[in-house]
Amino acid sequence: MTPVVRWAGLPVLAALLVAVVLGVQVANGGGAYEPLRPADPCSPRETTSRSDGVEGLTEQLVLIGIDEAACTLQVSREELTLRLARPGERTDAEIDALRAGLQSAVARMEAAGTLPPASSLVDEVLASADLNGFVKAAIRALPDGVVDAALKTDDVLTRAIDDLDLRELLDNLTDRDDLEQQIGAAVEQAVKDSLVDRLRTVF
């Protein structure tokens, strides 16, 4: 067989191979295309964080909180994320649902026993706190039991969420493709500020 004849047969061979693959796909149910359905935001799902400390804590809060908000508004998580990321006025219902979702996330994590004790967050928070060295040293010297008795993590988180201006946050998004991360960063800073304020009262 000459090279010309061999090359001429390649398109026929390729067509046969494609036909075989398509036949196998159809025989195994591949002929009926059904788009993937978005996950039901009302069904609790396990969340994990790639980070530690306050950042990891707030990452989980935001993931659960957006699910809770979407469930309240009866839309998919994806639809709510797109709505919140768009420029324009946010409805009171959307703001209220997001705040209530974040608060519900705190309650769920507390009930599941996944909230860390406040004492485990103190060193990280003090590292960036605007306090003089003497006060920081005095707070660090407090026994963990004293800190945990005076500061409940769920209370600190709830206060931080209550004080957060979600409408302003959503109106000033700098990267609308990274909505969750920006909400998480804002919640993280609010948690740190809340914890520092409460630590001042303990000291």
Per residue in 99-124, pLDDT tens?
999 999 999 999 999 999 999 998 98
As a whole number of angstroms, the distance between CA 202 and CA 140 comes to 12
Say whether pLDDT at 148 is over 60: yes
Per residue in 65-84, pLDDT tens?
999 999 999 999 889 988 88
Name, in order, each residue with C-beta under 8 angstroms of 98's C-beta and a sequence gap of 6 or more.
65, 66, 69, 84, 166
pLDDT the model gives residue 165: 92
As a whole number of angstroms, the distance between CA 118 and CA 121 comes to 5
Per residue in 156-189, pLDDT tens?
999 999 999 999 988 888 776 688 888 888 888 8
For residue 1, give the amino acid letter: M
Please give the helix or strand (H or E) that residue 25 lies within, else none: helix 3-27
Q: Which residue spans within 66-178 are E strands per DSSP? A: none
Burial class (CB in 10 A: 0-12, 13-18, 19+), 96: middle
For residue 182, give the amino acid letter: Q
Name, in order, each residue with C-beta under 8 angstroms of 133's C-beta and a sequence gap of 6 or more.
none
